[in-house]
Structure 1
Amino acid sequence: MMSAVKPLTNTRTFLLWLVLFCPIAAWIGWQDYVDRYERFFQDTSIAQRMLSQKTVQHEAVLATLAALSHPPIPERLLPSLQPSMPQLLGLGFLRDGAWAGSTASPPGLVAAVEHARQAGRPVTLSLDESRYWLVAPSSWSLLLDARQLISAADFPPSLAMLTLDVGAGPLTLLARQPATRSPGWKIDLRKPLGAVSQPFPLHSWRTLTPADWPWVEWLAWAAASCLLTAGTAAWQRSSADARRQQEAVRLAAMARLSTLGEMAAGIAHELNQPLTAILAQVRAAERLLDDEDERPAVRQALRASAGQARRAADIISRMRELVKPSSPSPRMIVEPDALAASLLFLREEELARRGIRLTWRNADPGARPLGDRVALEQILHNLVQNAADALADTPGTRSIVLSGRVEGPEYEFSVSDNGPGIPAEALPRLFEPFYSTRSQGMGLGLALCETLAGSMDGRIAVHNLDPTGACFTLRLPLAGADA
């Protein structure tokens, strides 16, 4: 009997709204923070790369000057470099121990040159928070202004505060937020520049103030959650009778789709395969009767027909047993290889004529499941037939793989194909009685397979393969496994 659901009071409606609103609002806030931090991290990395490219350019200029056999006069060289290097304030080099440059000699030049030669790379001499000399082992030296490396307008828009330490204290390159401390959540990042000779520490930070919070998204979710809560409350107040009617309809539908009705409607569907096999074998025997040498083949075909006739009788018997609640399905040890061999004998040649290759793979040959062989044959025949139907319009190589393996305390049969797969919207309903993805299908084969699997304490499932195809799996208890 369906229990009555109490209509929501105003207090319970408000609490329901809070329960609905708060987690999603927190998730929206967290996602907004994650997005802002990712943009901040990416844009800081962009700024670091931009500055690194400039400093690496300094090293390239020094290397080029050192390679010149007859270097130009620094006073003439400086004007030609400044249009592309506005950060360059001066340059020069030691000639026979004397300084030749466009500006005064840097302090400690001789010691710096010796240090650069020992290090095998240029070294820096800072003058103040923005200016520094870059001295190469060749004695060529560049006077640089870090303020002119990149214009503030060229930095990415998500950056707010940016400083660079060239050796005499932090130099502010960017200041888009007020210096006064404002309430909010601070995010920052420190990264050195990529030049070996100028690994100056870059510091980027930003304060996420209430103005940055996702108010629009919160208000939209607040309105949507209010509508959902109000709709839920109104629906509960007005639909008690409708729920009872829907339950009555559902119970009536379940009664119509009871096991007895399902099995009776599926008899024609399930008997089609063995009867088709009998017809094919008898026709083959009829064609071979006139040839004396083909009598063994005739005998084999007739034996196969007799086997399929027995299988048809067993199917009818099994259906009769399954609709009796008091008659549980017998569980015996099943030989997977023998079961697969019977299936291959019946279907391999027929499928080959349709251009479909059917193969069997047993990953655990010594394992034995518990089940009903007749029911297993029904399930596997049905799954192979469904796979063959799915491959009907598939171009190129078409294959069906029947495989078996041990999965924990269970044995798993799987039937997979390389067809187009199953539409996502059809997967949840695939085992419903009378639901079929084929225009000519009755929608009973898979429903019956699920019923047969359940009667053996097994379960059947389906999933799509990547990139194409579908795979049905049947899991049964493993003989010898703990219950």
Structure 2
Amino acid sequence: MMSAVKPLTLTRTFLFWLVLFCPVAAWIGWQDYADRYERFFQDTSIVQRMLSQKTVQHEAVLETLAALSHAPIPERLLPSLQASMPQLLGLGHLRDGGWAGSTALPPALPAALEEARQAGHPVTLPLDEACYWLVAPSGWSLLLDARQLLPATDFPPSLALLTLDLGKGALTLLARQPAAGAPGWALDVRKPLGAVSQPFALHSWRTLTPADWPWLEWLAWVVASGLLVAGAAAWQRSRAEARRRQEEVRLAAMARLNTLGEMAAGLAHELNQPLTAILAQVRAAERLLDDEEERPAVRQALLASAGQARRAADIISRMRELVTPSSPSSRTLVDPDALMASLLFLREDELARRGIRLAWRNTNPGVRPLGDRVALEQILHNLVQNAADALVGTPASRTIVVTGGVEGRDYVFSVSDNGPGIPAEALPRLFEPFYSTRPQGMGLGLALCETLAGAMDGRITASNLEPRGARFTLSLPLAGADA
């Protein structure tokens, strides 16, 4: 038995696309985030190295000044240094308590000098969040403005927010984004500067807002995944259509064979009676001719006719034996839902194109009647086809409803339609062979259904519905019920 495969519905196709799209889209987003973070980290490291070079340059200037045998006057030296060091605001030298500088002596500078001599390297004396003194053990000191360490044009475009903490609060070096947190993915790096004397904390962060997200890559994946799902859906529809055609061919072949068997049985029934009558009349004629002069010749002819009639009766009898089941059909537990799924798969789309809605309701899911699945398929197929033919010309909403459920010790299938119903004079003869209410009907479909039902110890009946429509019911024994 070929399993019924329904094509993907619009909802199932969308869910399939969603399951395919979401993991890859998440991977694309993660890869984009990882790439941006790597670039952001590298650019932050570049800024950290440039700032570290500036601070190391400060140490080099102090070492050079300390190495001079004759100390220059700070006021004269300052302009020449500022040409290459715009961050330099002041310069001074403290020796033996005497201060020589371009600015007044800072109150805390003597203590900072003592700290530098104990540490063996320059130390910082912050004045505010932007300016600080760099004090060397030699007594030379530089007044520096951290805001002038790097021009804004030197910062890489991937950076948005940069601060440098000198010890008096964070100094903003770059602000290309609002500092307040915005919705999105956060990038954050903290690194100290590389100078031993000025290990200021550098903080770099930015938020990847929706404008930074990989919309182009996502759009490309939307198109690609949509094409993949559309191709898969088209392939499945083609496969389902091929299976539907194979199943229809199989059912049509079964219908032809069963119809042929039913026709042969009907012909055998109809022809057996006249042949029996012929045989009886020939024998009567044989008795009446006992006294006639030509009785030998007549008797011989009549005997030959009787022999031929008997031979025809034997042939028809053998043909009837061939098409009449000699034993009850093999019965198993049948799943009504699976049976109807196959029928819906075969007929639902075709009937929908004709404006007919086919529906199935099972009031007792899980209950299994005893029957022959192939015979049941044939019966329900015929009943649905008859209902569809009866709905031709019905102007109102055309519906065929198949229901299943337990009634007493039987499982009952019911096929109902909202057509014109069955004429009262036709109801008693519906299941007679060769009787049909349709001009083109052969009158064998319902007779075949009754034969198949009887072979499964079932029964089939027909009735009209109020205010309109007809209903056919097929009753089958349940497992454990007496046959």
Task: Provide TM-score, normalisation by structure 1.
Answer: 0.48
Q: Which has the larger radius of gyration?
A: 2
Task: Provide TM-score, normalisation by structure 2.
Answer: 0.48
